[in-house]
Structure 1
């Protein structure tokens, strides 16, 4: 995936707020990189644009040669469902569904049968060490367990890129360390590209490639 000269502005009562100021970034197959910066630097906005959850004010975004910005909403939804996984600071699990049902959701959206979706979900929960928690609901899980379920949901369709936005920001140091180790293990075993946004310098410097952002630009 390649982002070229990405700008993003928001209109408000006082005028234009420029969040990204000509940022370019290329993600290669199987690559791991971190985007480091303080709150408000623009790193989450860039991640949302590269994840096709938002559109730039101007710039280009291509994936395997395809112009992502010209896709229809339906094409984008299918593209995200197949090619990308997302993990956020907050797990965003649905409270009315148990762990395995939450992980199944992307498969069901893609039209897979309940049986196949459940098999895939259970396989990932077992990999995460959560097989015994599969029928537990979000309010019955710890913070680390919730985030592992969210990671399983992000990976159930075997995406090529996993985007994670402050994935350990709400966790204690011990749990955070375990989740960090899990990301690197998943990257190697699933052969996916891993893009992490964080303000945690210790986490970021574990990556072979680190980009630092300030005021919407690389520094």
Structure 2
């Protein structure tokens, strides 16, 4: 199934703060790639803000000022400077980076920043496929995938939902074709085999709330190992 944009339910959940961090990253990145998603997210944020303004104010804790001043002292004592230095160091590293960092710098800002914060270290996922785990919260995981043309994942289904947002290049999974800005959403009932198209390397943001279940011989091995 190909989704041109995330649905209203996800956008509303993002505005209300009920989305997991990996799903927020998915929606924020999609908003960078699709103007309609950005517009919907902006509208949802505005509506949520108006709703909050209409709610009665909550009383502040008696020590609220002390907490705020302590936070300011922590920033002035070095935490804030460290954050600024980290940003400067990241830019300096990127300027002198090799092809790995050069590729990451071409990706949408939310994913790019998370990948750099995660150390920009690609790990083996499958032949022709590398991954960087960006974040994890509960059962939800966000990963950046780098898929060489003609390569991809073995045939599989899922223990939950899987959202794959194409950041560059394109892939097909036997059900549909997905290019930059397209969001592929599948559930437990779907079996597919994503393979990157020939030509450009495919980069994708994958967010799952459950593990993959492989089919065929690989599935038999997975079941034998108890996964």
TM-score (norm 1): 0.28
Bigger relative CO (Cα 8 Å, ≥ 6 apart): 1
TM-score (norm 2): 0.27
- Structure whose CA Rg is larger: 2
